[in-house]
């Protein structure tokens, strides 16, 4: 079978890497891919949002399975379009992907069907949002409702910071049209955990747990990013908690979407806050998380391709998932300035030396080939991923690899995985 992976980030490199291991697969293409995917697949210079061109390519190359990585083409309806042409594609339809495309829609679904989440209000009026915050005093969270590449969430310590956040999103348009509507919700305390599940619209099959590090700086300080690193599994996510999340969040959400006439098939990602009152949903995403995918896939012992097919064919209840016992840690190496402005085109050295270390895989994200050399091409550049018998071992291996990689203007957190360690 020929497989097409759509996207060009670290998540897509990890997917190509895992799909390549399937005995069912003869050839893998990645559109548009990056310098890392080019080493293990055939990159196709078609952007992820050019749906007509992607359909033509899939038809001409007799692609047996397409896996959609990023949220933008999902929200645009790429799955619907591929299905109309009789092409097998893994991912939710546009109406199902609205779970991620509109935080307001997602919160309304959770409220309607009684899923645990933070209290909230939504606003399309800048003046009404500011008026609402005049009555608030404590910490609060302000979110751009639309797609903002993981950066449209602002944690505010008080109402003044909340008003500044509303200015940033609605007045200054820092996230573009994504900020035409905002969600203002209560500030939840606890640890965050990412839970991903395969679903065929009827049943769910949870992946193992992972924890992301969203903030740009050590100690969870600084602005939110698309993710600065992740580790798996998350010890805080016990088997009992896993069952509770499956029964009270994941399955009810899938059933709610079916009731709404928006059957959800693909990967369902729940960002959860583990509060004293139990797990509450911060957000749903309609695709694999990035960077959670990297440490999860290096631990996955099962062939991933039959799972994609089972979600398409609604036979997921016949599948199981096997995991390697090791811990994995992914450290994101970013460009200096990320998540703000940053330079591109910086030559990267040390990639082969880092990748040659035992139990290390260097996943590319924002990279490109420039004059025969690998160079930076994005904010998050690499996801250096290592496995070990325990978290400290995996952390040490990952940072040993990080130390071998150089370019002009590197930024990375030095505490990825630390929250798994006792104080």
CATH code of residue 161: 3.30.1490.20
**Would you say residue 313 lies in a domain?**
yes
CATH code of residue 369: 3.90.600.10
- pLDDT score at 248: 95
Quick one: 306 and 374 in the same domain? no
Quick one: 8 and 83 in the same domain? yes
**Would you say residue 80 lies in a domain?**
yes
**Would you say residue 31 lies in a domain?**
yes
Quick one: 144 and 197 in the same domain? no
Q: Which class for 329: exposed (0-12), middle (13-18), buried (19 or more C-beta within 10 A)? A: buried
Quick one: 304 and 225 in the same domain? yes
**Would you say residue 179 lies in a domain?**
yes
- CA angle 28/402/297 to nearest 5° reads 35
Quick one: 199 and 313 in the same domain? yes
Contact partners, residue 157, CB within 8 Å, separation at least 6: 139
- pLDDT score at 51: 98
- Sort strands 120-123 and 410-411 into parallel, antiparallel or unpaired: unpaired
pTM of the model: 0.93
- Sort strands 2-7 and 27-32 into parallel, antiparallel or unpaired: parallel
What DSSP line would sit under 362-417, residue for residue? Answer: EEESSEEEETTEEEE-SSEEEEEEEEESSHHHHHHHHHHHHTT-B-SSEE--S-TT
**Would you say residue 110 lies in a domain?**
no
Select from 130, 151, 186 the last residue of a domain.
186
Quick one: 290 and 203 in the same domain? yes
- Residue among 99, 59, 93, 100 at smallest CA distance from 77: 93
**Would you say residue 105 lies in a domain?**
no
The per-residue pLDDT string of the chain (423 residues; one tens digit each, 9 = 90 and over) reads 999 999 999 999 999 999 999 999 999 999 999 999 999 999 999 999 999 999 999 999 999 999 999 999 999 999 999 999 999 999 999 999 999 999 999 999 999 999 999 999 999 999 999 988 888 878 999 999 998 876 788 899 988 899 999 999 998 898 999 899 999 999 999 998 999 999 999 999 999 999 999 999 999 999 889 899 999 999 999 999 999 999 999 999 999 999 999 999 999 999 999 999 999 999 999 999 999 999 999 999 999 999 999 999 999 999 999 999 999 999 999 999 999 999 999 999 999 999 999 999 999 999 999 999 999 999 999 999 999 999 999 999 999 999 999 999 999 999 999 865 544
CATH code of residue 283: 3.30.470.20
Select from 186, 217, 239 the last residue of a domain.
186
Quick one: 352 and 384 in the same domain? yes
- pLDDT score at 31: 98
- pLDDT score at 405: 98
Quick one: 273 and 200 in the same domain? yes
Quick one: 77 and 170 in the same domain? no
Residue 41 structural domain: 2-93
**Would you say residue 142 lies in a domain?**
yes
Quick one: 83 and 140 in the same domain? no
- pLDDT score at 135: 82
| HEC per residue, 47-65 | CCCCHHHHHHHHHHCCCCE
Quick one: 376 and 402 in the same domain? yes
Number of domains making up the chain: 4
Select from 297, 318, 339 the last residue of a domain.
318
**Would you say residue 276 lies in a domain?**
yes
Instruction: Return the H-helix or E-strand segment holding 333.
Output: strand 327-335
Quick one: 213 and 232 in the same domain? yes
- pLDDT score at 421: 56
């Amino acid at each position: 079978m020929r497989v097409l992976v759509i996207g060009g980030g670290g998540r897509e490199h990890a997917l190509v890497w895992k799909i390549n291991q399937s005995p069912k697969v003869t050839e893998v293409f990645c559109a548009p891919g990056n310098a890392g995917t080019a080493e293990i697949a055939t990159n196709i210079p078609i952007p992820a949002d050019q749906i007509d061109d992607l359909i033509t390519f899939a038809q001409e190359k007799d692609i047996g399975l397409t896996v959609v990585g990023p949220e933008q083409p999902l929200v645009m309806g790429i799955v619907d379009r591929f299905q109309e042409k009789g092409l097998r594609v893994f991912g939710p339809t546009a109406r199902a992907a609205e779970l991620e495309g509109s935080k307001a829609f997602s919160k309304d679904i959770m409220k309607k069907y009684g899923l645990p989440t933070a209290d909230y209000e939504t606003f399309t009026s800048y003046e009404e949002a500011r008026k609402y915050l005049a009555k608030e005093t404590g910490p609060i969270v302000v979110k751009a409702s639309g797609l903002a590449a993981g950066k449209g969430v602002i944690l505010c310590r008080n109402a003044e910071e909340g008003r500044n956040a509303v200015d940033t999103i609605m007045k200054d348009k820092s996230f573009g049209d994504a900020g035409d509507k905002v969600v203002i919700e209560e500030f939840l305390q606890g640890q965050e955990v990412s839970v991903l599940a395969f679903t065929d619209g009827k049943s769910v099959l949870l992946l193992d747990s992972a924890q992301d590090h969203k903030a740009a700086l050590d100690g969870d300080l600084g602005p939110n990013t698309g993710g600065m690193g992740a580790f798996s599994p998350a010890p805080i996510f016990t088997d009992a908690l896993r069952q509770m999340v499956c029964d009270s969040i994941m399955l009810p959400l899938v059933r709610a979407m079916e009731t709404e006439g928006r059957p959800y098939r693909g990967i369902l990602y729940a960002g959860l806050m583990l509060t004293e009152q139990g797990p509450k949903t911060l957000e749903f995403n309609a695709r694999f998380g990035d960077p959670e995918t990297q440490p999860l896939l290096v631990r996955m012992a099962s062939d991933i391709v039959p799972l994609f097919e089972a979600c398409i064919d609604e036979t997921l209840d016949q599948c199981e998932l096997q995991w390697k016992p090791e811990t994995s840690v992914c450290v994101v190496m970013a460009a200096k300035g990320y998540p703000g402005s940053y330079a591109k085109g910086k030559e990267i050295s040390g990639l082969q030396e880092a990748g040659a270390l035992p139990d290390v895989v260097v996943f590319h994200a924002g990279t490109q080939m420039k004059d025969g050399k690998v160079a930076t091409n994005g904010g998050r550049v690499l996801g250096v991923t290592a496995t070990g018998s325990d978290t400290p071992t995996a952390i040490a291996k990952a940072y040993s690899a990080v130390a071998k990689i150089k370019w002009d203007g590197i930024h990375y957190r030095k505490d990825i995985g630390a929250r798994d360690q006792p104080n």
